[in-house]
Structure 1
Amino acid sequence: MSRGSRDKLQSKAMLSLKLPRLVTVQQLPKVFHEDSILYGYRSPQSSALSCILSLFQMTNETVNIWTHFIPTWYFLWKMLSMLCSNNSWHDPFMWPLFVFMLSCCIYPFASTCAHTFSVMSTQARHICFFFDYGALSLYSLGSAIAYSAYVFPDRWVNSLFHQWFVTYAVLNTILCTGMACYSRLGFPLLHYNQLLIDRFPEVSQPRISKVLRTSAFGYPYLFDTIPLFYRLFLCSGDDCAHNATLTWHLGHTILAFLTAFLFATHLPERLAPGRFDYVGHSHQLFHVCGILGTYMQLEVLIMDMNLRRVWLENNVASPSLSSAFGAWSLGLAFSLLLIGGFSWALYWKPQPEKEKRRM
């Protein structure tokens, strides 16, 4: 092949990799609409390659993607660094922390993939966010496992609530994954006509869908932080585990409530539709606050673990694989089953009555 031919082929390849064309909200099916976002949308029938190429152009999803993709690698580096130091993997006291750190790696990566590939089709959009919701529920479960090991005030340690805390957290994971998936799809197996795009709960009943989804994210957080709230605001005396971590715990709590506020209110774009489409809309701020909150949560858990280690090892049984990785794996298994069921429902079509009679 001559040099000129090779240059032409390279030029054609470069042209074929041009950045995807963006569209406005009026050019999209309603299921792809974002509240008060008017411009910067990608085509709802993008290829996987187009989705990846869109990471390198400014769309209304670009900041969402990168604010979770980069932290994924930081949390992964942090976890691997701790795993490789001083044989930490063989220390049962560290296992709840590693479960939490694994959750911190998975949920921003799942969010990255969801926001990247959600414009391949209507079905792909729902499935991508099913996995995103499942990952968030597992992150909440990882938090509960770590809180059970390191955060409970001294006077609550070994109480009945402490003994059943992780079990309830596993049940919350199952409940909240199902609730979040239902907020997008409803129960199509019972009402198959709702599979029509304009009948999705997210489109036909957006307020109810939003309440369900916010509850699915907020409820497990509130449950997980019961021992922390008690320690921060109600507990007094020597058996409250008051130490240098309380300021960090308070900062993380403030960020968590700010994250929920941004997710629920769609501010500031609701005040000026079209002005914050590319940079500064609520979902981007929600991502930033969420990641900062996760970073603070991880650092303060490490501090609490180190400051309270001697007392906890003397008063609490060492964590077991079943109480840490076993509980998290159970939550993962049930979440995948729910995601699989809701995903299958997107493609399920009932047989007409005539065909049933012929069979």
Structure 2
Amino acid sequence: MLSLIKLPRVLTINQVPKVFHEDGIVSGYRYPYSSAKDCVLSIFQLTNETLNIWTHFLPTWFFLWKLLMVLEEEEWWDSYCWPLLTFLISCCLYPLASSCAHTFSTMSERARHICFFFDYGALSFYSLGSAITYSSYAFPEKWVNSAFHKYYVPTATFNAIISTGLACYSRSTVKSSAKLGKNLRIVAFTYPYLFDNIPLFYRIFMCAGGGCTVNEATAVHYQHTALALLTGFLFATHLPERLAPGSFDYIGHSHQLFHVFAIIGTYFQLTAIELDMTLRKRWLQAHSQPITFTNTVGAALFCAASSLCIIYIFCRALSSTRTRRDRDLK
């Protein structure tokens, strides 16, 4: 069937505008002003984006299945389940947003920016979903009900919103300095990650003696943390393609590996969260601060609404810039 369809041709780096360039990737670029139909067709041919799309699109359905299983098997109206449900929704959204961004980012320069604005918003929402579950299920016993615990979710919500804004702003620096834009994005996502994981880092690396919450989830938290650090390394370094430009254009470049290890890490993260949720339920319900709509679903909705407002502002800014440029050309 696909043999009867004329697939879009692929280009080299010299044939596309600089905004579409990727470090170390020489060929396999799609036409930078493709139609939506061509973008969809391109996911069925080998380009430098094909595996970026599929490595996040397929896992979306796994996490959606997990979400439906929780809704079916758990008492979803019980507030104790709300953090897990919030996290699973974020696990569905961020790979879906990423796969859509990579699919339709070649419609135009403006479309590319807008696609990745939504991708950044989904990643920020995922970071907050992680923080909400850590607050509810993974905090070390020594820190439960502390001042840090009390303000942990509100701070994580603020960080996620700032992350969206800084990441979106980073794309406005592309024309002046692509390197600066990339560094801003690294900061935008590293800071919330480090803050959100403070209780987990303390629990698995620093805590000693009683109240450290050592259980079956601890080893899985180690695995998730190792994979998270690996994904950050790949995103920041552009290895291995930087060492051999052109050798990993289609298979094996850093962004593909980043996607694969991020999804595997999310799976381990979910496994650890479910273990903590089950093993610590009785103790947490007796000793921890109550799980409420405000510190779970409410915080997530506020973050999502704020991020959408930020994305709207940056989209309007793109439209204004384009209008001014068109007027100047006339």
The answer to whether 1:306 aligns with 2:294 is: no
Structure 1 residues 247-258: aligned runs within 5 Å: 247-258=219-230
Letter in 2 for 1:136: L
Structure 1 position 20 matched with structure 2 position 18: no
Residue type matched to 2:240 in 1?
Answer: P
Identity of aligned residues (%): 58
**1:45 to 2:33 alignment:** yes
Q: Does 1:113 align with 2:100?
A: yes
Gaps (5+ residues) in structure 2? none
Which residue of the partner structure matches residue 129 of structure 1?
116
State the match for 1:172 in structure 2: 159
- Superposed, 1:329-344 pairs within 5 Å as 329-344=301-316
In the other structure, the counterpart of 1:197 is none
In the alignment, structure 1 residue 81 sits paired with structure 2 residue 69: yes
Question: C-alpha offsets along residues 119-173 of structure 1, whole Å, 9 cap, x if unaligned?
Answer: 0000000000000000000000000000000111011000110000000011101
Deviation, 1:81, is 0.7
Aligned amino acid, residue 80 of structure 2 = F
Aligned pair count reads 325
Partner of residue 271 from structure 1, selected from 243, 246, 249? 243
Distance in 2 between residues matched to 1:136 and 1:259, nearest whole Å:
14
Structure 2 CA distance for partners of 1:236 and 1:203, relative to 1, 3 Å: same
Aligned 8 A contact 2:63 2:88 in 1:
yes
- SS of aligned partner of 1:60: coil
SS at match of 1:40: strand
1:207 aligns to what?
A: 179
After TM superposition, give the deviation of residue 351 of structure 1 in Å: 8.9
Q: C-alpha displacement at 1:236, in angstroms?
A: 1.1
Indicate the larger mover: 46-55 or 233-242.
233-242
Give the match's secondary structure for 2:283: helix
Q: Which residue of 2 aligns with 1:163?
A: 150
Equivalent residue for 2:21? 33
Range that drifts further, 299-308 or 342-351:
342-351
Whole-Å separation in 2 of the counterparts to 1:308 and 1:72: 28
**Residues 241 and 254 in structure 2, CA contact (< 8 A), matched pair in contact too:** yes
Deviations 1:315-338 (A, max 9, x none): 124311111100000000110000
Which residue of 2 is the match for residue 4 of structure 1? none
Structure 2 distance, partners of 1:90, 1:217, is 32
Q: Tell me by how many angstroms 1:242 deviates.
A: 1.0
Partner of 1:151: 138
Of the three residues 226, 237, 240, the one matched with 2:209 is 237
Structure 1 Cα separation of the partners of residues 323 and 54 of structure 2: 43
Partner of 1:190: none
Aligned to 1:280: 252
Shift of 1:14: 8.1
Q: Structure 1: which amino acid aligns with 2:21?
A: H
Provide the rounded CA distance (Å) in 2 between the counterparts of 1:53 and 1:208: 33
Secondary structure of the structure 2 residue equivalent to 1:218: helix
Shift of 1:210: 1.4
1:138 lines up with 2:125 in the alignment: yes
**Structure 1 runs, 4 residues or longer, greater than 2 Å off:** 349-352
1:62 alignment partner, one of 43, 46, 50: 50
Structure 1 unmatched runs, 5+: 1-10, 186-200
| Cα-to-partner distance string for 1:81-109 (whole Å, 9 max, x where unaligned) | 111114x2121111101100100000000
**1:192 maps to which residue?**
none
Instruction: Output the CA distance in 1 between the equivalents of 2:241 and 2:65.
Output: 35
- Measure, in 2, the Cα distance between the counterparts of 1:349 and 1:135: 25
- Measure the CA separation in 2 of the matches of 1:150 and 1:14: 51
Q: Read off the aligned partner of 1:175 and give its amino acid letter.
A: I
The DSSP-based 3-state class of the residue aligned with 1:41 is: strand
**Shift in alpha-carbon separation, 1:274–1:169, aligned structure 2, 3 A:** same
Q: CA RMSD in A?
A: 1.7
Partner of 1:228: 200
For the residue of structure 2 that corresponds to 1:348, the secondary structure is: helix
For residue 81 of structure 2, the aligned residue among 84, 94, 114 is 94
CA distance in 2 between partners of 1:25 and 1:345 (Å):
28
Q: Is the contact made by 2:144 and 2:289 (CA closer than 8 Å) also made in structure 1?
A: no
